[in-house]
Each structure stands twice: as C-alpha cells, then as structure tokens.
Amino acid sequence: MPLAPSRQGLAALTLGAVGVVYGDIGTSPLYTVKEIFGPATGVPLDAQHLVGAVSVIFWALMLVVTLKYVGLILRADNHGEGGGLALTALAARAVGERPRLKHALLILGVAGATLFYGDSVITPAISVLGALEGLEVMTPAFKPYVVPATVAILVGLFLVQRHGTARVGRFFGPVIVLWFGTLAAIGVVHILREPGILAALNPLEAWRFTAERGPKLWVTMGAVVLAITGAEALYADMGHFGRQPIRLAWLGLVFPALALNYLGQGALLMHNPKAIENPFYRLFPDSALLPALVLATLAAIIASQAVISGAYSMTRQAIQLGFLPRMTVQFTSAREAGQIYMPGVNWLLLAGVLGATLGFGSSSALAGAYGIAVTLTMAITTLLTWFVVREGWKLPWAVATGATAFFLSLDLLLFAGSAVKLLDGGWFPLALGAVLFVLMTTWAAGRRRLLERIRSEGVALETFVQTLQPQELRRAERTAIYPVADATTVPQALLHNLKHNQVLHEHNIVLTVLFEGQPWVPMNRRTEVRSLDHGFWRVTLRFGFMQTPDVPQALSLAAAQGLCAPLAACSYFLSRETVVPAPGRGPAHWRTRLFAALSRNAGGVVPFFRLPDNGVVELGTRVQV
C-alpha cells in the first residue's frame, strides 16, 4: 500500500495531473458547442435549446466523468496502476481459473487498447486544428494558413519527442492551470450578462432536450460526446499521479472551469446567435483574441503530448504482455523510468496524425471521426469493471449489475450517437483499430504456436542434464546464460554450441523472463533459482508490465540464492528463431505469413533486456509453423 503524499507532494502531484491528465478534455470547449448546433444536428439556435444543450453537456460531465470515472473506475487500481491493459489484467485475475472467460476478457481488453491508438491519432489533429482556427476569427484572410500552420506545429511536436518531456513537462501544469482559469473567468463574464443560462444546471432541462430530439437524438449525442473525450486519461494516468491528486484536480479546478465555460458559451449565444461560427473565440474581445489563440495552441500541444506519451506507455505494456513484437525503447530520463521514447511508434503516429489533418482539413470534419473509438473504449471499460466489482470486490450482484447497467446505457447512448457518423469519418479510428487488433492477436497466437512447436520438437532439459556425461566434454571456465521462452526444453543455442564447438561451459544458466499481469513485481519475487546437476541452473525472472526488464541487474540478486553470475564472467547465448511458414493456403496461412514478417522485424533482444553488447553470442535456428 503506497504511503499518502505529504501536503507539498500532493500539491505538486495535483498540479502535474492538471497538466498531463486533463489536457485532452480541457481542449473540448474549442469545438463542442459549435458542433452541437452544426447543420448536421438540426438543433434550433434559440434560448430553450441552448439551455437544454448546455444542460446535457453539464450532466454528461457529471455522470460519465465525475460519477463513473472519478467515483468508481479510479478505485479499480492494479497495484496503483490504471489504464485499459492494467484493468484487463485485473479483471482476468478476478475471474480465477476460468480459461475461456479469461481469454475472452483479454481479447476484449486488447480491442480497447487498439481503439486508444485511434484517439492518439485524432486528438493532436483536432486539438491543434481547433486552436488555430482562431486565426479565421481574427481575420478570414488567415484561413488558408490554418492547415499548414497545424502541420508545422505537429511535425515540430513529434520531432522533439526524442529529447523527452522532462524539461517541458514542468511547464505543463502552470500553462493548463492558466488555461482552465481563463476558461472559468471568461465564462463567468458572459454568465453575468445572461444569467438565464444557469437553468441548464437543472437535470430536467437535459431530460427535456433529449426527449424532444426524437430520431435526431443520435446525431446530437454524437456531438455531445466531444465534451467528454479524454475521460479515459483519468484512469490511464493514475499510476503517474495517484487517485487522490487526479480527483482533487477534477473536482477543484477542471470540472468547475469546464462547466463555467460551457455555460458562458451558451450565455454568449443567447445574447448573440451569430457567434455560432466559433463560440469559443467569440467569448473574447478582439483585443484578447491573440493571447487566447496562443494559450489555446499551447493547451492543444499539451493535450497532444499527453496522448503521444500514452501511446508509448500502452505499446510498451502490450509488448511486455506478449501482444506486440519487441520495439526499440529509449529512456529519456535517468530518474523517471516511465519517461520513454519509441521511434517506431513516434513516426507511425506522426504519419497517422498528418494523414488525418490533411485528409479532414478542419476540426468540424474531424469531429465526425472523433468519438466512436472513445465511446466504444468507455463501454469496454465498463464491462471489464463489472468483473472487478463483482468477482474481485465481491459486491452484491444487484449492486454491481445495476451500476454497470446504468453506466453501460450511457456509454451505448453516446456510442450510438457517434456511430451515425461512421461514413463521415467514424470509420477512420475503427479501421485503424481493426488493423492493430489483427496485428496484436496474430502476434500473440503466433508466439503461442511457436512455443508449442519448440516444446514438441525439443529435448526435455532435465532428462538432457541427467544423461549428460560432462567429463567427456571440454569445459569453458565461464558462465553461459541461455535466455529462452520455454525453460522446460534444452535451448537450441546450447545444442548448437555442443554440436559445432564441442564445448560445455562450467556454469550454465537456462533463463526465462516472465511478465506478470500486474504493473510491478517486488524485488523479493524477482528471482527464482533452481539448481540442476552438472553445473546447470534454471532461473526465472519476473517483471511487471510497467517495469524495465534489466536482466543483468536481476541476475545479481541470484547470489542470495547461491548462484553467483558476475557480469565480466558471463556470456549470453541467444537462440534466434527464424519463423518459416508451413506450406498451405487460407486465412490461417495468411496470418502465419504475417507473424513471420512481424518476427523478422522484431526489435533485438539485447537492448530490450539490457544485455551487454560485448557479451552476447547469437545462434539461429529455423522453425516451421
């Protein structure tokens, strides 16, 4: 159980949470109200419907974000960590020994994780575009420069990722606090001019608005959902800041500021309906437009940074849980293990973001693509939470099911509203998620088949050691370490060494690295050592999916269990399997070829496990699957 932070530490964490967690949802006022009253929704721009629309936004924030995420989901922490994959692991552990159900939950969690990448592509594009569209408000002559300026900012943002976020991260909190303070202040100014908008706080106004929309409700809810995009970040970033700072930031600053700004935009439109062209920027007097534009652009960049960093973390978790091949991970901070940079993910994200920016061209066009992936992820989170609440926490069935049904009905209502935009861009994040889902499930299934093939064709390790005649072999006075995925069979690299070099090392360690379904594994459970005959040991290292698998450091802990493996006297012999697709046709064969291609392009074992470059010998073998 982590210790409660001190007052000073709590304040710092709360400030950090404001800067990182709430950047996405904090930029929603740039475009939400404009889309609700856009031509596609058919909502009349009059006082009654303005009050109703703002009421729907307010109560969506209250029910979905405050009650569901802040009140319930944040309680479902996996050893202090949150996020889709952490929740999946928690739900799978809660159902116990039910393999089919556990597998179904893992597939559901992977589907939710793939949809997150759609959010990571759309958020930078729509946030920066929405901010820079303030140029059109200043003067229509700037309209042709909005997209080029957006592209320039986004390219610059992705180019600086390799330097890490440590330096700029300290400015995130103060800038976003200023942003939310501005949202609240300018909202209050307009509320005082048209206090009638305060009727929107009455939930009956939201009910009346939704009831009167009839068949057009779905289109309207597809625009309302823009106000709560970014809610998943509350849970995903819990491990960085903790539950209490995230709650304090939401209840003490973010929620009041957002509510006041939406009320202010409604009040502005009651007074001046022509401001619907861009109600956010029309809140400001002409003399304050440029500072507002600069501040909005900074807020959009910070919102983009949050989802980019989240994509790195999500990818790293997926790799260590066995759903993606190894990729290059660069650590950008000597003190914070969570600050990483992944070049492959960075450039793929940039390509996707630029494609979305240039392909859609405006925040209004992107609004059609936004929401469908977010709401589907929210529904998946709600379903996974049921298993945690019922199976893990043992709450009564009626309580768990009633709460789940209520929140799931909200999720599905918002999803249905977003789904009507499928042909207007909603297909984009779904297509991206589908491609990633195929890749992740193909890799997981391929690794499972590969291990089964190695196990079926391999020689049992304990039998091999018992029948070994070490006196008939030359013994090298070093320690040979054989990292393998399956420790029950003889490593192929060891067999190659015996066959071609006719040498057996004095000490031989068959090493397996396991990633468990929890974010952190304590040091007292890190290393498990079992001694075999003739100088053989079987060693198992356990890491959490948020930890860096530093194998040499973990092996140094084996000395306490009687195994001394000094770095200078160790050689790592790697068995590199080259996957060869078996002859055949059909979907299964196509996926096998895809797995083979992924395997060939997987990142190296040496940097991933932090092995010494000058202490590694790599021996290959071909495996047909």
Residue 168 is predicted with a pLDDT of: 55
What would the mean pLDDT of 543-548 be, rounded to a whole number?
Answer: 84
Calpha distance 564→549 (Å, rounded):
19
Residue 588 is predicted with a pLDDT of: 67
Higher-confidence position of 447 and 185: 185
Which range, 3-7, 396-400, 533-537, has the best average confidence (pLDDT)?
396-400
- Give yes or no for residue 1 having a pLDDT over 50: no
Residue 170 is predicted with a pLDDT of: 63
Calpha distance 516→513 (Å, rounded):
10
Residue 169 is predicted with a pLDDT of: 57
- Give yes or no for residue 28 having a pLDDT over 50: yes
What would the mean pLDDT of 251-256 be, rounded to a whole number?
Answer: 96
Higher-confidence position of 324 and 618: 324
Residue 378 is predicted with a pLDDT of: 92
- Give yes or no for residue 333 having a pLDDT over 80: no
Cβ atoms of 360 and 133 closer than 8 Å: no
Which percentage of the chain shows pLDDT scores above 90?
42
Which percentage of the chain shows pLDDT scores above 70?
95
b/e 335-374 (16+ beta carbons within 10 angstroms → b): eeeebbbbeebbeebbebbbebbeebebbbebbbbbbbbb
Calpha distance 172→523 (Å, rounded):
33
Amino acid identity of residue 309, one-letter, is S
Residue 6 is predicted with a pLDDT of: 56
- Give yes or no for residue 392 having a pLDDT over 90: no
Residue 2 is predicted with a pLDDT of: 45
Residue 239 is predicted with a pLDDT of: 72
What's the residue count for the chain? 625
Residue 272 is predicted with a pLDDT of: 94
- CA 307 to the chain's CA centroid: 8
Calpha distance 270→223 (Å, rounded):
19
Residue ranges of domains in the chain: 14-445, 459-624
Residues 370-384 pLDDT 10s: 888 889 999 999 999
Q: In the Cβ-directed half-sphere of 504, how many Cα atoms lie within 13 Å?
A: 14
531 phi and psi angles, rounded to 5 deg: -85, 135
pTM: 0.84
Q: Could you tell me which CATH class the domain 14-445 is placed in?
A: mainly alpha
Q: How confident is the model at residue 44 (pLDDT cuts 50, 70, 90)?
A: very high
Residues 505-539 pLDDT 10s: 888 999 999 988 777 888 889 999 998 888 899 99
Residue 165 is predicted with a pLDDT of: 59
In the sheet that holds 503-516, the strands lie side by side as 527-531, 536-544, 503-516, 474-483, 570-580, 616-624
Q: How confident is the model at residue 3 (pLDDT cuts 50, 70, 90)?
A: very low
Task: Calculate the alpha carbon distances from 201 to 12, 216, 258, 260 in Å.
Answer: 32, 23, 13, 11
What would the mean pLDDT of 49-65 be, rounded to a whole number?
Answer: 96
Residues 202-238 pLDDT 10s: 999 999 999 998 888 888 998 999 999 888 878 877 7
Residues 100-139 pLDDT 10s: 898 899 899 899 889 888 888 988 999 999 999 999 888 8
